[in-house]
């Protein structure tokens, strides 16, 4: 049961990153810049969520 929940958290974290990167793209950032900026901005909160969930 825990593995299923952890998989759900991983999928949700991936979606959060992708949505944020897409928002940056809509604002006009290039793909590479959006990935770098999105990773720097959202990686810590996403990792904190994953660590707490596991």
The rounded distance, in Å, linking the Cα atoms of 53 and 33 is 29
**Average pLDDT over all residues of the chain:** 88
- Reply yes or no on whether the pLDDT at 13 is more than 80: yes
Please determine, for residue 26, whether its predicted confidence score (pLDDT) is greater than 80.
yes
Separation between Cα atoms, residue 1 and residue 23, nearest integer Å: 33
Q: Where are the beta strands (DSSP E) in 1-54?
A: none
Which 3 state secondary structure label does DSSP give 1? coil
Q: What is the pLDDT of residue 50?
A: 79
- Give the gyration radius of the chain's Cα atoms: 13
């Amino acid at each position: 049961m825990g593995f299923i929940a952890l998989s759900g958290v991983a999928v949700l974290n991936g979606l959060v990153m992708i949505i944020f990167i897409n928002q940056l793209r809509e604002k006009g950032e290039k793909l590479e810049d959006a990935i770098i900026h999105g990773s720097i901005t959202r990686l810590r909160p996403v990792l904190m969520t994953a660590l707490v969930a596991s």
